[in-house]
Amino acid sequence: MILKMSIPILKYSLSTQNQRVESFEVNPGDEQYRIYSTDSLPSSSEVDQIIWAAYRQIFSEHQILKSTKQPFLESQLRFNQISIKDFIKGLVLSAPFRDLNYNVNNNYRFVEICVQRVLGRDIYNEREKIAWSIIIATQGLEGFIDTLLNTQEYLSNFGDSIVPFQRRRIIPQRSKGEMPFNLKTPRYGIEFRSKLAATQFSWASPIRRFRPQEQQPKAGDPALFLNMVQEMGPGL
């Protein structure tokens, strides 16, 4: 009998980021994120807003398509069969999220995307990337998401009933807050962007050589014998 032991998450230093500094804002402006929660028994229209906020946080606005919608999860949330935390887990483990983010990136970049969208902050350092990447390699995608959602950081900030958001975007003594994660973190990593560019370049030549069927030379056309004549040379 083989016993499998899960590897504990590697320890990493907690660098001082904006969300770890105590807030002193008296009148927060437009940069303050609106909190979407089910604690106050939301109405049907408010549940719609909660669902939209969850999609926008996990997929980001440019990824929200008809194919990314999860009607079954939405129905469960509307009828209080699952919590917002369960809804977030379902979105991250859904096939569209996997196709748009996991299958087109390496583990390090996927970790960065998930920490931003699930924990609402930037990655602390390269050591944290390695730590979470080890969890993906040893426990799989679902084990990684479960561990992320059950961290004390997630539970203390969002719990079971609050849609994750980018924490503390307001920075004192600056006219603008931090850039939203979906704007500063492209969908593809640099290695995948280079592959996409190479693929487009490789198709350029075959497209230029394409000739419609009606323009193809027919039997007896002198053009069919052109190569043969050129090979014979002028001396023959």
Lowest mean pLDDT, pick from 63-77, 79-93, 123-137, 160-174:
160-174
Residue 174 has pLDDT above 80, yes or no: no
Q: Mean pLDDT score of the chain, rounded to an integer?
A: 78
Reported for 166-169, long-range contacts at CB under 8 A and 24+ positions apart, including other chains, are: 166/33, 166/116, 166/120, 166/121, 167/18, 167/19, 167/33, 167/120, 167/121, 168/18, 168/19, 168/21, 168/23, 169/18, 169/31, 169/32, 169/33
Lowest mean pLDDT, pick from 51-65, 168-182, 205-219:
168-182
In this prediction, residue 218 has a pLDDT band, given cuts at 50, 70 and 90, of confident
- pLDDT number for residue 94: 95
Domains and CATH numbers, the chain: 29-193 (1.10.3130.20)
What global pTM score does this model have?
0.69
- pLDDT number for residue 67: 80
pLDDT, one tens digit per residue, over 130-169 is: 999 999 999 999 999 999 999 999 999 999 999 999 887 6
Lowest mean pLDDT, pick from 39-43, 49-53, 65-69, 135-139:
65-69
